[in-house]
Structure formats: C-alpha cells, structure tokens
C-alpha cells in the first residue's frame, strides 16, 4: 500500500465518522490535513475496539502491542493507519505519550462505567480527548508551547464534556453513565433517576452544571488562540465553536438527550466557520 493510498483510506474514516472535524480540518494545507486524518484513524480504531470489539481486552492489548512495534519501525504495510501514521511520525516531531494515554483511556471504558467525582471524570476526559489535541499540536503549530498545551487541555475537556452531555441516552445503552455521582447527589438525583430517561427540572440542573464547566473551558481556550498560526487557529477554534453549538441545540430541544441525537446542521456549521474566518 502506498502512503497516498493509506491517507485516502484515513480520510474516508474521518469523513464517515466525524463530519464536524472533517469539514473544519480540511481547511488545512494538504500535508497537515492528511496528518490529521491519520491521527484520527488511529483514535477511531482504538475507540471502535472498545465499542464494537468481540474480545475487547484481547483486541486492545493486541493493538497496544502493534503500536509498540510501530514505534520500533515494525508494522504492517497493508494497514492504512500504520502506513499513514508512519509518514506523520517521519514528517513531524511527534510524541508517543498521548497515543499511549489514549489507549489507557479506552481501557478505562472497559473497567469503569460510573464515576464518583468530577476529578475522576476530568482524568478520563484527558485520556480520551485531551490526548487527541496533544497528538495534533506538532502538526498544527511550528513550536509546541505551554500556551498551546493549555489550549489542548481546555478544548479536549470541553469537547468530551459536550460528547457526554449529548450522548447520555446512547451511553445508557452501553451501561455507562459518565455524570459523576457527586453532581447527581448535589441535585437530589442518583443513577436510577438517569436510567429512567426522564427530563426533570433536577436533571436539567445537573446537565447545566456540566455544560457550564464545558463552556468555561471553551472560553478559556480562546485566550491562547494567538499561539496558533492563522489557518490552524481557524480550524481548531472553528471546530470547538461548532461543537459548542451542540449544547445550544440541546437546549433548543428541551434537553432531550434520551430519545434524539442532537447535532449542528451543515448550514450552521458553515456559518460558524465563516464567522471564525472573518474574525481571524
């Protein structure tokens, strides 16, 4: 398999699974956006193992072994994600740690289905979301700085909280509840109340408490926008703004996260990206 063929397969993966990220990151220069596609494909495969694998523990351990071999230069030249990712590691100063940490995050989904505290949830969000931002930094900026690292932490946390707030009903189908018990208890709820799938005033308060945390981190990340080159800035903060709009959409739908999949329309996405482009 040629490197170009591998990148094309990775592009198909992100195009199929994440219209938001595909529509924004395609604004990058060709080499950079191909690198993003390869990194996304890596993350997608790990995520799919946990959600769809037949023998999840074995498959995840096998994938980890494959990644360790990959770092030693030993990988299948017939698997697009490894072929493309190899090219990324050659062209950019990549750090393997966030890739390892992403796998750890997926392992958490095997063993943990409930969270007691917000701090525990924040740790999970780092492993499954912030790591992606850290993987992308060497592609998006010429020099990784404390400012860009902080923005990756803020955006990753905000994006994952948004995912959690959007997918409460879907996650219940996998026997997962990510809303920490300490927040549920603070508003007089518990896990059983969530399992009843009823939007009550108390549920809205719980939902809003996490949404406000996400919005705080979306806002804080903007402080570091100038640390990115213009094109990368538009892409990163455009994607974040599109994701943030999911929270607005859920509010419009009266907080129904149990029976409907809330998303931002194509037209609204384009409007948001255009607004970001005009601003920056």
pTM of structure:
0.92
Residue 18 buriedness (CB in 10 A; 0-12 / 13-18 / 19+): middle
Q: How many residues does the chain have?
A: 280
* For the chain, percent of residues with pLDDT exceeding 90: 82
CATH number of 113-280: 1.10.600.10
Show Cβ contacts of residue 201 under 8 Å, excluding neighbours closer than 6 positions: none
Q: What is the pLDDT of residue 204?
A: 98
Per-residue model confidence as pLDDT tens digits over 76-116: 999 999 999 999 999 999 999 999 999 999 999 999 999 99
Q: What is the pLDDT of residue 52?
A: 82
Q: Which band of pLDDT confidence, cut at 50, 70 and 90, is reported for residue 121? A: very high
Q: Which band of pLDDT confidence, cut at 50, 70 and 90, is reported for residue 276? A: confident
Residue 222 carries which DSSP code? G
- Domain residue ranges in the chain: 1-111, 113-280
Distance CA 251, CA 229 (A): 33
User: Could you confirm whether domain 1-111 is CATH 1.10.3720.10?
Assistant: no
Q: In CATH terms, are 1-111 and 113-280 the same topology? A: yes
């Amino acid at each position: 398999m040629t490197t170009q063929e591998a990148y094309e397969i990775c592009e198909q993966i992100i195009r199929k699974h994440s219209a938001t990220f595909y529509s924004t990151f395609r604004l990058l220069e060709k080499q950079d956006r191909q690198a993003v596609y390869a990194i996304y494909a890596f993350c997608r495969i790990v995520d799919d193992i946990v959600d769809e694998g037949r023998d999840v523990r074995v498959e995840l351990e096998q994938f980890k072994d494959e990644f360790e071999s990959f770092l030693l230069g030993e990988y299948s030249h017939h698997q697009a994600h490894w072929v493309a990712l190899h090219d990324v590691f050659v062209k950019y100063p990549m750090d393997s740690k966030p890739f390892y940490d992403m796998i750890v995050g997926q392992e958490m989904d095997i063993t943990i289905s409930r969270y007691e505290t917000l701090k525990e949830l924040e740790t999970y969000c780092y492993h499954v979301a912030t790591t992606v931002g850290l993987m992308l930094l060497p592609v998006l900026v010429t020099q990784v700085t404390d400012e860009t690292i902080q923005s990756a932490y803020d955006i990753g946390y905000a994006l994952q909280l948004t995912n959690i707030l959007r997918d409460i009903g879907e996650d219940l189908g996998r026997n997962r509840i990510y809303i920490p018990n300490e927040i549920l208890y603070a508003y007089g709820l518990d896990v059983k109340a969530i399992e009843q799938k009823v939007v009550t005033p108390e549920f809205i308060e719980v939902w809003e408490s996490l949404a406000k945390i996400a919005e705080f981190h979306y806002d804080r990340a903007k402080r570091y926008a100038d640390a990115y080159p213009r094109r990368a800035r538009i892409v990163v903060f455009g994607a974040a703004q599109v994701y943030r709009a999911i929270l607005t959409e859920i509010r419009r739908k009266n907080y129904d996260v149990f029976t409907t999949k809330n998303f931002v329309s194509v037209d609204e996405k384009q409007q948001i990206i255009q607004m970001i482009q005009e601003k920056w």
